[in-house]
């Protein structure tokens, strides 16, 4: 994995959404992504026992609805001060399929955060 400096503004945006918008059991994760044009897009998960969308996938759809079709970096933050949470397997695969060069902010071994491409499984069908 090739790592880069962590986009602290992006992490702060996701943390703020998690703190202010995640309430109860239906919305427990927030995500923020930086588009290549510099804007930040945020979203929260929509939990449902049938498998509602994770916050990262909500952000992908929200970004597209706002005309941001190319994302550079994404991060997910849990409610109740859980901090940065790595994407689940489904999200890792979807993010790779949509944005092969996307950098994902994740907890670093030993503490802190790291950002890098290559945190995803292999491309489906490739």
Across the strands, what pairs with 106?
114
Residues annotated as catalytic are: 56
DSSP state for residue 126 in the 8-state scheme: -
Closest CA to 74 of 56, 62, 90: 56
DSSP state for residue 38 in the 8-state scheme: S
Burial of 103 (0-12, 13-18, 19+ CB in 10 A): buried
DSSP state for residue 120 in the 8-state scheme: S
């Amino acid at each position: 994995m090739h790592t880069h400096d962590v986009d602290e503004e992006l992490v702060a945006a996701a943390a703020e959404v998690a703190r202010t918008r995640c309430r109860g059991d239906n919305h427990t994760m927030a995500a923020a992504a930086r588009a290549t044009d510099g804007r930040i897009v945020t979203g929260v998960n929509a939990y449902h026992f049938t498998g509602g969308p994770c916050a990262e996938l909500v952000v992908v759809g929200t970004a597209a609805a706002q005309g941001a079709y190319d994302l550079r970096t994404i991060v997910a933050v849990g409610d109740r001060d859980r901090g940065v949470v790595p994407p689940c397997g489904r999200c890792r695969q979807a993010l790779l399929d949509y944005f092969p060069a996307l950098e994902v902010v994740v907890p670093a071994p030993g503490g802190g955060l790291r950002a890098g491409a290559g945190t995803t499984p292999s491309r489906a069908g490739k």
